[in-house]
Structure 1
Amino acid sequence: MVVIAHGYGEHIGRYERLADRLVADGAVVYAVDHVGHGRSEGERVHITDFEDVVTDLHTLDETARREHPGLPVVLLGHSMGGLIAARYAQRYGDTLAALVLSSPLIGRWEGAAQLLALDEIPDVPLDITTLSRDPSVGERYAADPLVWHGPFKRPTLQAIERGLAAIDEGPSLGGLPLMWIHGEADPLVPIDGSRAGVEHLRGPDYVERTYPEARHELFNELNADAVMTEVAAFVRRS
């Protein structure tokens, strides 16, 4: 069973291709829109404490286990979902079979501090070319009414900074199998900043895959099929 945690401003509907691939490979997939995202309730992209989001995800996990008892659970988090998944693994790692972090917002991320230093956070749309080398990905993102297209909320940025600190101050994952995937040309969550967080978390059972020229959304990149094949192989052996 795979539980997916999506990224900032988006929704889980953008992961249908990945879910279909995992299901075709024999997995059961569960996911939910985080509070303030997609079809979930709450002020848009307003998160004051990521510990609460982790607790929400644990409720989904408990539901999945009731419906499919006995299946090992692999948690997969992308971008901000990587922050949520990493913190989840620190809190509930003994219940997981493995963890997959895709372009995870962990370690060092200067974006939050830079925006918080401003008197007013600018309402500048995301540069859709940062998502993928495939132009159609950005075009669909820009036209998606369930995606948040407005500015960051200050409380959310502050919560991100606290979440990063909590992971940094929390334990390593010990023997929990961990796979880290990242685009080497990711401008939104630069790979070097995430590496610091991964090095803190990882134990001896560790797989790293980085992709030259790939941008932020590896499951929507030009080489997405190859990425998903590697992730599915890791999930299978876990």
Structure 2
Amino acid sequence: MHEHPLTLTSEDDHLIKGTTFTPDRPQAVLVIAHGMAEHNGRYADFARWLGQHGIAAITFNHRGHGPDCSPKDLGHYSDRDGWHKVTDDLHRVLTHARQQFPGIPVILLGHSMGSFIAQSCLQQHGNAADALILSATNRINKPELLAYRTLIIGLKKVFGKRHQSPILANLSFGRFNKRFVPARTDADWLSRDPDQVDAYLADPLCGFNCTNGLWHDLVQGMLSINPRAWRKDLPVHLFAGTDDPVAEMGKGVTRHFRTIRNAGVKRVTFRLFNGGRHEMLNETNVEEVREYILALCQSHLPKEAPEKQTTAPTA
């Protein structure tokens, strides 16, 4: 296994930083788009594990996230065109993956916020990946999102786009954690594993509040997602925990699965992990989740691949 730093330049000269994990004989490459208020380093152990099974991985940090982000920009995409910029950054990473690993499948895994960036990116650039895996995603609830947008616009007018509103923090992470009262910490909603929760809370690059501008960009981006505009032969795989408040305790992500399937996308699979919370890759059954994702990756290997393939779960 070889690990190399990744640096790409965006259209506005922003530096996209990440890491490439390359096994000796990669059969596919998985690009990972992380969630809100975390960073790519949290996926390094998973990337190394994938490498042991012949799958290369590329992790990177979204704007406003990660160790190279300046304190003034933490939790903020951009003052202008933030959603366009984060989706374009992802497209550049996917294009790099094609160039770096020619002839093998490029698979995109988006977690939580990253799942919406991933959907938006492939809605615009359908051939940028050979398959899409959505972790801890949710339906596009337009009435709720429009109400959030109205609130965010008001907060931006009063406090500015770079203000980190405690109101929005309470309506998101704070609301999610109320599902688990009495809670040991403010982040119990992430995982049943207390060690993983404590590691998250101890990480200075995790758990920060995001700006009014980022929230506005995210809501606008989510409202633009329309599976009817997706490439119909793009394989899409969704998974979540039954106790993930972001996925509406399994109900919202189930509705999104049906929406994608009813939009005419030909191959859509879905799995709920019983009792799992928001971060299934940091859950108590992490080995089961890793094997599931590996099976999905292996299901997209060329049929003539010499390695034994594992059948991906379907719904």
Q: Give TM-score, length-normalised by structure 1.
A: 0.89
CA distance in 2, matches of 1:138, 1:146: 14
> Structure 1 residues 160 and 196 mapped into 2: Cα distance closer, same or farther (>3 Å)?
farther
CA distance in 1, matches of 2:146, 2:273: 25
**Structure 1 runs (4+) greater than 4 angstroms displaced:** 109-116, 123-126
The match for 2:199 among 135, 140, 151 is 140
CA distance in 2, matches of 1:6, 1:117: 26
Secondary structure (helix, strand or coil) at the match of 2:46 reads: helix
Q: Which residue does 2:214 correspond to in 1?
A: 156
Q: Which residue does 1:62 correspond to in 2?
A: 95
Q: Which residue does 1:226 correspond to in 2?
A: 288
The answer (yes or no) to whether the contact 2:97–2:106 under 8 Å persists in 1 is no
Structure in which a larger fraction of residues adopt strand: 2
The answer (yes or no) to whether the contact 2:91–2:128 under 8 Å persists in 1 is no
Q: Which residue does 1:31 correspond to in 2?
A: 59
The answer (yes or no) to whether the contact 2:132–2:235 under 8 Å persists in 1 is yes
Matched, 1:117 2:147: no
Q: Which residue does 1:14 correspond to in 2?
A: 42
State the Cα distance separating 1:51 from its structure 2 match. Answer: 2.2
Secondary structure (helix, strand or coil) at the match of 2:117 reads: helix
Bigger relative contact order, structure 1 or 2, given CA contacts below 8 A and separation 6+? 1
Matched, 1:171 2:229: yes
CA distance in 2, matches of 1:29, 1:115: 35
Secondary structure (helix, strand or coil) at the match of 2:95 reads: helix
Identity of aligned residues (%): 32
> Structure 1 residues 21 and 80 mapped into 2: Cα distance closer, same or farther (>3 Å)?
same
Q: Which has the larger radius of gyration?
A: 2
State the Cα distance separating 1:208 from its structure 2 match. Answer: 0.7
Q: Give TM-score, length-normalised by structure 2.
A: 0.69
The answer (yes or no) to whether the contact 1:31–1:60 under 8 Å persists in 2 is no
Query: Superposition RMSD on alpha carbons, in Å?
Result: 2.4
Larger mean CA deviation between 214-223 and 115-124 belongs to 115-124
The answer (yes or no) to whether the contact 2:43–2:59 under 8 Å persists in 1 is no
How many equivalent pairs are there?
Answer: 237
The answer for unaligned runs of 5 or more in structure 2 is 1-28, 160-164, 175-185, 301-315
Q: Which residue does 1:129 correspond to in 2?
A: 188
Q: Which residue does 2:31 correspond to in 1?
A: 3
